Amino acid sequence: MGYHDHFKLADDMINHLNTFVRSVPDPFIQSRYTGFVSVSAVTVYELAIKEIFCTFSSQKHRVLGTFALAYFGRINGRIKLEIVRDDYIKRFGKKYVDRFKRKIDDAEKQILTSTGKSIKSSYNNIIEWRNQFAHEGLIPSTVTYDEVIEAYTYGKEVITCLHETMRR
């Protein structure tokens, strides 16, 4: 299974929700759907990140693959950009940290130029919104359903940069 296959879980749910959420008249109910999308988005990000690191590790060495499977089985939402870069990638060496920084900065610049959207902010925002919803039952009142979907979509680019970094 490729890392991007995990996105299908959230993408299918979003496609279903898109058929009716925008027509829900109650802002409170709409905000709950916004929260559900953020939880689903971060879940598939986490699954994709685990997949990338475990696949990479297994390709490097069988024992490393076994270790990675156990280690990344416990990340449980700890996937903010700084943690991925400064904790997870760093364990594989400076070469990979530098490669990730270069890839993500290039993608950030290109997407900012073409769309005005930041993949780094989108990625971190969706994680923050998920944490607020999952742990406090809150979604910031300024975040809309469409903004959560947009952040999820742009945030996927961070995962793509990670995948491109962690290749043999």
List pLDDT tens digits, range 115-137.
999 999 999 999 999 988 888 87
Looking at residue 136, what is its pLDDT?
A: 81
Alpha helices in 19-144 (DSSP H): 27-60, 62-72, 81-83, 94-115, 119-136
> Cα 32 to the chain's mean position, in Å?
20
Distance, in Å, from the CA atom of 50 to the CA atom of 74, rounded to the nearest integer, reads 10
142-164 pLDDT per residue, tens: 889 999 999 999 999 999 999 99
Q: Considering the chain, what percentage of its residues have pLDDT values greater than 90?
A: 80
Distance, in Å, from the CA atom of 91 to the CA atom of 35, rounded to the nearest integer, reads 32
Residue 58: burial class (beta carbons within 10 Å; 0-12, 13-18, 19+) = middle
Looking at residue 120, what is its pLDDT?
A: 98
Q: Mean pLDDT lowest for which of 11-25, 33-47, 71-85? A: 71-85
Distance, in Å, from the CA atom of 28 to the CA atom of 41, rounded to the nearest integer, reads 20
Looking at residue 116, what is its pLDDT?
A: 97
Distance, in Å, from the CA atom of 74 to the CA atom of 78, rounded to the nearest integer, reads 9
Distance, in Å, from the CA atom of 40 to the CA atom of 87, rounded to the nearest integer, reads 24
Distance, in Å, from the CA atom of 148 to the CA atom of 37, rounded to the nearest integer, reads 7
